[in-house]
Structure formats: structure tokens, C-alpha cells
């Protein structure tokens, strides 16, 4: 038997309904915030991610699905959505002043070759939010508040925004010089030994050595007065609208393109009795220019839908009710079979959901099928009903059984609504 590839999942039944409900909630909130939905290809040039994400990141170094097309060009299944969005903005010249600010979101599949575990798959679904053309701290506040609004709308109320501000310019070089000295005094894992030479800031993102960084000098000590003031404005504005902020001086995120504010939203996970990260993002003001475009400031965040649904499950939250069907149509006798198709067509045209006894089960078995699919009503059409132009309806909720004239069928269901 052929089985699905490792690190992938089949989505069906209640789980599929939860995905659909989550996406509907997200799209409704995006309308409130005036964001437009976009879609980019599932695969892109490998160079796009190498240049944008950074060759020293785990994503590019270890986790990309890379392949060659028939002309020998190196392609990659997208591991994240920001780089493709930037490519789209540049290629379609969406950066003209009349279009700014660009406020966009996407819901799509991403691919990372990493060890499958709870909440981490090699193929996963992600929401991404990107805003281009504004460097106003109010934009940072809106993006973070949008992330929190989504979580609260689906019932995840106990959240905190872990936030940091990455140093830039000459101050960044001063900080990194100081950081190298402090890190060299520590015993680091093999990966961090390599990062220490090529990208020391990435060492702070290490999960293996995380407990060794308690005495590392904070980035805030190296911020310019302007950036420090901006950071404080962001925190003050977030707290004014009820979003709890936790300054995390070691938060750098896992991608090289971040500049300025970075954040992670954490929520209480009842399954582990502690906080867990649900989503993260930050500002990337240099990325558009580095990919060959104009100077265009930007900020965004990403969240895996699987991670969100796992958090909901751990907190006993469901976005959907059990599936129900308004009517289950059961016919008795060969002469009545065509009536099932006619009745189902009338009901469905009126927006009333129904199912037919397709398997020709006997009455007892058919009633079990109706119970399994949560049918609210069973419609019985036998030769006697056909002769008298009526339908016997048994309401599965009230247990009341009555005969309804064929031409009064829609009136019966409209009265139920």
C-alpha cells in the first residue's frame, strides 16, 4: 500500500471543517483591517530564498526542498511567504506611491524539510500578513494588534506579546562586536560555533544553548535615541489597547531579513501548562531594496494554521459545531426512487441540505445512517405517499411524525428555521 510522505497529513472530516472555519474568521478580520488577499506560486527560484532569508539560516541551510527543472534551473518549494510577496511586489511594480501602503495577506502551503513533530510538518498551512510602504510605528502597532485580534476572535484570550528591537547601522556593528566577545566565553553547540563566525546574531535564536544567554548584554543598550523612542512608543500604544508586552532582549527571530521591531505572540497551552509561541514576525525595511527593488519599508508576521488548531485543541476550543443535515430522504419501493432525486433538487435549490439513501439500505439500517450524519428530519417516500402526493416526515429532534403535502414541503422547512 502506498502511504503519504513523512511529515505530511491528510485533512478531512471535522479537522477539515476546523481549517475552513479558521480561514473564514481570518478573512473576516482582514476585511475589518482593510487587507487584500494575494497568492504566489508554491515554487520559486532557489536564489530568491537564499538572498532573502539568508544562507546561514536553518531554513536555507537545512530545510529547503530544492529541485532542478527540465532546463537545469534550481527551484525551491516555498518555505515561507515574505520573500515571494516581495518578489511579487517588485515584478508587478506595486510599489508606486498611489498603491501605498500595500496591506496584504495570504493563506497557503509552505514546505520545510525538518523533523516532523507535533505542530511541525514538512508541508503545512500558513497565514502571512505583509505591509509595505510605511515606517510609522502605528503600522507596527496595527500589525501586532491584528495578530492578537485573530487569536482572541477564535477564543485564545490569554496572550502576551514578546517583543524586541533589533539594532541597525553602526550601532549594530558595535553590538555584534560586543556580542562576539561574550559568546566566545561560552561553550556553544556545533551549529552556534559556525554562526559565531558567519552570523553571531543568529546564535541568540538557538534552542540548544538558550539557557546560557542570561547575562548577554541587551540590544536596548545599543539603540539610537530615535529607535529607543520608537520602541517605547510601540510598547506604550500596545499596552493602551490591552496587549500585554514582554520585552525579550534575546528575541531575534530565525530569519536574516528582520530589522527594527520583532515580536512573538505567546499563549497559554493547557497541554503543557506553560506559554508557547503561536506566531511571530517583525519589520524588514531593507529586504525589498536588497532584492533589487526600491527602498520600501515593510513589516509582517506569519502563523502556522496547524499550530493555531493545536492550541485550540489543547484549550478545548472548537470553531465548528457537529455537522448536521436538514433532511435524509428514504424511499421504499422501486417506483419511488425517482422521487428522491426530485425532492433533493427542490430542497437544495432552496438552500436546505439533504442526503439520499444512496446505498439502498433497509429502513432500520437507513435510520442508523440518518443518525450517523445527524439528520434533523427523515423524509419517507413509499408507494402510499406517492399515491397520495405526500411525504412522511419524522423530526429527529422532537420525534414528531407527520404527513406533509408535496407542495407544502418547503413551507415545513421554512417554518423550522
What's the pLDDT score for residue 147?
97
Percentage of residues of the chain with pLDDT beyond 90? 63
The full DSSP string for 25-52 is: HHHHHHHHTT-EE----SEEEHHHHHHH
pLDDT digits (tens, 9 = 90+) for 174-220: 888 888 887 777 777 877 777 777 777 777 777 766 777 777 888 88
**325-412 topology per CATH:** Rossmann fold (3.40.50)
Percentage of residues of the chain with pLDDT beyond 70? 95
**Alpha carbons 119 and 286: distance in angstroms, whole number:** 31
pLDDT digits (tens, 9 = 90+) for 78-120: 999 999 999 999 999 999 999 999 999 999 999 998 888 777 8
Which residue ranges does the chain devote to CATH 3.40.50.800?
A: 325-412
- CATH H superfamily, domain 13-167+223-314: Bira Bifunctional Protein; Domain 2 (3.30.930.10)
pLDDT digits (tens, 9 = 90+) for 361-382: 788 888 899 999 999 999 999 9
Three-state SS at 94: coil
Residues whose CB falls within 8 Å of the CB of residue 180, separated by 6 or more in sequence, listed in order: 196, 200
**Alpha carbons 122 and 237: distance in angstroms, whole number:** 37
Amino acid at each position: 500500500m502506498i502511504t503519504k510522505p513523512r511529515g505530511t497529513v491528510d485533512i478531512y472530516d471535522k479537522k477539515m471543517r476546523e481549517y475552513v472555519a479558521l480561514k473564514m474568521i481570518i478573512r473576516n478580520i482582514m476585511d475589518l483591517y482593510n487587507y487584500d488577499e494575494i497568492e504566489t506560486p508554491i515554487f520559486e527560484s532557489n536564489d530568491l530564498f537564499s538572498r532573502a532569508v539568508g544562507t546561514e539560516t536553518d531554513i536555507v541551510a537545512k530545510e529547503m526542498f530544492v529541485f532542478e527543472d527540465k532546463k537545469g534551473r534550481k527551484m525551491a518549494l516555498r518555505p515561507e511567504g515574505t520573500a515571494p510577496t516581495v518578489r511579487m511586489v517588485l515584478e508587478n511594480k506595486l510599489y508606486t506611491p498611489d498603491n501605498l501602503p500595500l496591506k496584504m495577506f495570504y493563506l497557503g502551503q509552505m514546505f520545510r524539510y525538518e523533523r516532523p513533530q507535533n505542530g511541525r510538518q514538512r508541508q503545512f498551512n500558513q497565514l502571512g500578513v505583509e505591509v509595505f510602504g510605511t515606517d510609522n510605528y502605528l503600522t507596527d502597532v496595527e500589525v501586532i494588534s491584528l495578530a492578537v485580534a485573530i487569536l482572541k476572535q477564535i477564543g485564545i484570550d490569554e496572550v502576551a506579546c514578546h517583543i524586541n528591537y533589533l539594532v541597525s547601522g553602526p550601532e549594530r556593528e558595535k553590538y555584534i562586536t560586543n556580542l562576539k566577545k561574550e559568546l566566545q566565553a561560552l561553550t556553544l553547540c556545533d551549529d552556534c560555533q559556525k554562526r559565531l563566525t558567519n552570523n553571531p546574531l543568529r546564535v541568540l535564536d538557538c534552542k540548544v544553548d538558550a539557557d546560557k544567554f542570561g547575562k548577554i548584554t541587551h540590544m536596548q543598550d545599543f539603540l539610537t535615541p530615535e529607535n529607543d523612542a520608537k520602541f517605547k512608543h510601540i510598547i506604550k500604544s500596545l499596552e493602551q489597547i490591552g496587549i500585554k508586552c514582554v520585552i525579550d532582549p534575546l528575541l531575534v527571530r530565525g530569519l536574516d531579513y528582520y530589522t527594527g521591531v520583532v515580536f512573538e505572540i505567546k499563549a497559554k497551552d493547557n497541554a503543557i501548562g506553560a506559554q508557547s509561541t503561536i506566531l511571530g514576525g517583525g519589520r524588514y525595511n531593507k529586504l525589498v531594496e536588497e532584492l533589487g527593488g526600491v527602498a520600501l519599508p515593510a513589516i509582517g508576521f506569519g502563523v502556522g494554521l496547524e499550530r493555531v488548531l493545536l492550541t485550540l485543541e489543547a484549550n478545548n476550543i472548537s470553531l465548528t459545531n457537529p455537522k448536521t443535515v436538514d433532511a435524509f430522504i428514504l424511499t421504499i419501493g422501486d417506483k419511488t426512487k425517482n422521487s428522491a432525486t426530485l425532492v433533493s433538487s427542490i430542497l437544495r435549490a432552496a438552500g436546505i441540505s439533504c442526503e439520499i439513501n444512496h446505498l439502498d439500505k433497509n429502513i432500520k439500517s437507513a435510520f442508523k445512517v440518518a443518525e450517523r450524519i445527524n439528520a434533523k428530519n427523515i423524509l419517507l417516500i413509499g408507494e402510499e405517499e406517492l399515491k397520495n402526493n405526500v411525504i412522511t416526515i419524522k423530526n429527529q429532534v422532537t420525534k414528531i411524525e407527520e404527513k406533509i403535502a408535496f407542495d407544502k414541503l418547503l413551507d415545513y422547512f421554512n417554518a423550522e428555521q
